[in-house]
Amino acid sequence: MPLTDHQPRMPRRTSRARRAALVVVGSLLLTLVTACDRDEPTPTTSAYANQTPAGPEVPQPAPNASPTIAASPPTGEQTPTTMSGAITVKGRFSTVTGTVDKATLTAYAKMADTAVAEVSKRWKRTWPRKVTIIAPADATTFRDQVGRADDLSQVAAITDGPIGASGLATGDRVVLNPDAFAKLTPAGRQFVITHESTHVAVRSSLSGAAPLWLVEGFADHVGYAGSGRPRAELAAPLLAKVAERTGPTRLPTQGDFDPSQGEIGPTYLAAWLAVDLIARRHGEEALQRFYAASRDPNSPALADAAMDKAFVAVLGTTRAAFTKQWLAELSQLAAPK
């Protein structure tokens, strides 16, 4: 997820609109958070590039892994530097370049191929169906690639790339943070790459900005698909808060994804369960129509208004009524069995 506005970052190099996706790892088998796009130059919990949001994600963390948060890089134009000694491995739907060993690059390519296949099954708009991954071997090179000098210790991956005249991303890449990514289980790594690949697919096929809870929740929805794990197990950190009466009382706002404001893992889980509820109640097709209708082509600040209209036009309900259903389901999932 993105970091706070006051955090330092490396100076921009050139002009290149970028976007980021992040991942956070928790204490369950696989908890993660990805980052979002933003049209502001300063990173925050959710970031937008050229008014095209893409955001953090929160699956369940790997056991004994320290929390990992995704952070968004500064938007604006930056030209990634060349990695000395880098080699490239190509998969069926992926290109992985890095300074780690070839076996690791090959493993990442297989994960990316799996991710592209999973995303393509669930995201029905036309997109290149290719993912580019950058895998530096050390934190210094990672920082150089993303142009950040602030604390990225919780960031597992950042997705960035230029935005074309059409408002669509034209060359996204997923940059892995070697220190944070190494702490994930294989399932956690797959989740991160699938989550990020979802952002790549959406950004390359749908312009405009959507509410961050929808951006991140949808990426988690795709990332968790096929995990075979119960919702209550995946959402345990959030449900514990609900049981303690400290859980959410409304759909997450952009500020709720800001790590400087506190723990953000439960926020991602809340967003995921909201998206999951839409998918179960209305179907995957309606969810994607709702996503598309909830975007504003000019400003993330106007996306909430578009979303309110989409609740009525696409789902036949209102934000208030949906929120009531969602909160009731959280309470039900958190109730002692």
In sequence order, what are the beta bridge partners of 176?
A: 157
CA dist 249 and 256 (Å) reads 12
- Position 152 scores a pLDDT of 73
Which amino acid appears at position 161 of this protein? Answer: G
| Angle, alpha carbons 77-83-89 (nearest 5°) | 105
Q: What is the DSSP string of 5-40?
A: TTS--PPP-S--------B---SSS---------SS
Helix (H) or strand (E) holding 284: helix 284-293
Which amino acid appears at position 312 of this protein? Answer: V
CA dist 190 and 184 (Å) reads 9
Contacts of 281 (CB under 8 A, 6+ apart): 315, 325
**For residue 220, pLDDT beyond 50:** yes
Lowest mean pLDDT among 71-80, 105-114, 157-166: 71-80
Mean pLDDT on 295-324? 94
DSSP letter, residue 85: T
pLDDT category, 91, cuts 50, 70, 90?
Answer: very high
At 158-183, the pLDDT tens digits run 889 998 999 999 999 999 999 999 99
CA distances from 206 to 41, 52, 94, 160, 198 (A): 21, 8, 21, 16, 12
Give the distance from CA 64 to its chain's centroid.
22
Which tokens belong to 246? 């400290």
CA distances from 202 to 175, 246, 251, 290 (A): 17, 33, 21, 13
Looking up tokens 């975007």, which residue turns up? 295
Lowest mean pLDDT among 42-56, 93-107, 221-235, 242-256: 42-56
Is 314 within 8 Å of 283 (Cβ atoms)?
A: no
Where is pLDDT greater, at 22 or 3?
22
Is 223 within 8 Å of 174 (Cβ atoms)?
A: no
Where is pLDDT greater, at 201 or 80?
201
Q: For residue 19, give the nearest of 141, 158, 183 by alpha carbon.
A: 158
Lowest mean pLDDT among 36-40, 92-96, 104-108, 172-176: 36-40
- Position 149 scores a pLDDT of 80
CA dist 207 and 237 (Å) reads 33
- Position 264 scores a pLDDT of 80
Model confidence, pTM: 0.80
- Position 72 scores a pLDDT of 37
- Position 184 scores a pLDDT of 93
